Amino acid sequence: MKKGFNLLLIILLLVSFIPLSVYGEEITAYERQLPRLVDAAGLLTQEQAERLTQKLDEVSERQNLDVIIITVDSLEGYTATEFADDTFDYSGFGMGDNYDGILLLLSMEERDWAISTHGYGITVFTDAGQKYMVENFIGYISNGDYYEGFVKFADLADSFITQAKAGAPYDINNLPKKPMSPIWILISILGGVLIALIITGVMRSSLKSVSKQRVASNYIVSTVMTPFANKDLYLYSVVKRTAKPKESSGGSSTHRSSSGRTHGGSSGKF
């Protein structure tokens, strides 16, 4: 099964790539060739694969945007981005007239990952948004907890689509806040109590140094005057100005795939 999926992916890519590279034309339509989960690298049990497929189908159909996960053993000479883009294009992925979708690719040979977005997916999953998503699911994958990582990816994709449809896609200025761990809440409480005890202890100890004075001389402020006064003369100042770094304007960077389609996305190692 695993080898069959690998072979099918390679055939789809190579057969479709050649004529489109020759004519340089953008593909217009492709029938769906693959399910939304293709675990060609065999990272999941059958039960996990079935549950994850159901989840991807439910999110995709409810949101009307394809959420896809592909795992392979090797990139077969492609870059991770090229493989992800071409798999999306030539496998018939994407929903609606603009083929809206997001695809996560994992290649085990060099531990590569890539995200490819298309259509409305480019708007939904900004560069900053993708970075946030990766930071929240890639740790599971790096540790070999593939199922947990894929479920986290699907949940994040669902949340990002909902946010974008509300009119404000997650981006550099409005990324979701990470929930505080209960352990940090407990540490904060204990830390506050400890600081309060230290402060009150210091205040209490300082009061013990106060004692009754027998003579008035201790309360008299010296008023001895001096005929000489010290003056500080302000001569000049040096002001250094450093340009404030410009913040990224946000949004999604894009590129062209071999099919001529426009994709967003990102890639890296896990």
Report yes or no on 199 lying in a domain.
no
Q: Kindly report the CATH number assigned to the domain that includes residue 69.
A: 3.10.310.50
Query: Residue 184's pLDDT is what?
Result: 41
Report yes or no on 79 lying in a domain.
yes
| Tens digit of each residue's pLDDT (9 = 90 or more) over 165-175 | 999 999 999 99
Is the pLDDT confidence value at 247 over 80? no
Classify residue 24 as exposed, middle or buried by CB count within 10 Å of its CB (0-12, 13-18, 19+).
Answer: exposed
Report yes or no on 10 lying in a domain.
yes
Helices 2-23/80-90 angle, 10° precision: 90
DSSP string for 140-153: HHHTT-HHHHHHHH
- Residue 26 domain boundaries: 2-177+262-269
Is the pLDDT confidence value at 14 over 60? no
Closest to 101 (Cα-Cα) out of 90, 89, 110, 109:
89
Query: Residue 249's pLDDT is what?
Result: 78
What backbone torsions phi and psi does residue 119 show, to the nearest 5 degrees?
60, -135
| Tens digit of each residue's pLDDT (9 = 90 or more) over 231-246 | 555 565 666 666 555 5
Supply 53's token pair.
Answer: 């497929």
Report yes or no on 114 lying in a domain.
yes
Query: pTM, whole model, 2 decimals?
Result: 0.70
How far, in Å, CA of 94 to CA of 100, rounded?
A: 5
Report the domain count for the chain: 1
Query: Residue 140's pLDDT is what?
Result: 98
Supply 49's token pair.
Answer: 């694969």
Closest to 70 (Cα-Cα) out of 18, 2, 155:
2
Report yes or no on 115 lying in a domain.
yes
Helices then strands (H, E): number in the chain?
7, 6
Closest to 141 (Cα-Cα) out of 51, 40, 44, 266:
44
Q: How many CA atoms lie within 13 A of 30 on its CB side?
A: 21
What backbone torsions phi and psi does residue 53 show, to the nearest 5 degrees?
-60, -45
Work out the widest C-alpha separation in the chain, in whole angstroms.
106
Is the pLDDT confidence value at 72 over 90? yes
Q: Could you tell me the pLDDT band of residue 33, with boundaries at 50, 70 and 90?
A: confident
Query: Residue 1's pLDDT is what?
Result: 46
Report yes or no on 144 lying in a domain.
yes
Is the pLDDT confidence value at 248 over 80? no
β pairing state of 37-39 and 66-72: parallel
Spell out the SS3 assignment of 70-103.
Answer: EEECCCCCCCHHHHHHHHHHHCCCCECCCCEEEE
Report yes or no on 123 lying in a domain.
yes
Supply 30's token pair.
Answer: 């492709």
| Tens digit of each residue's pLDDT (9 = 90 or more) over 195-243 | 656 666 666 666 655 556 566 556 555 555 555 555 555 565 666 666 5
Contacts of 136 (CB under 8 A, 6+ apart): 152, 156, 178
Report yes or no on 100 lying in a domain.
yes
| Tens digit of each residue's pLDDT (9 = 90 or more) over 83-121 | 999 999 999 999 999 999 999 999 999 999 999 999 999
Contact 257, 86 (CB under 8 A): yes
DSSP 3-state assignment of 104?
A: strand
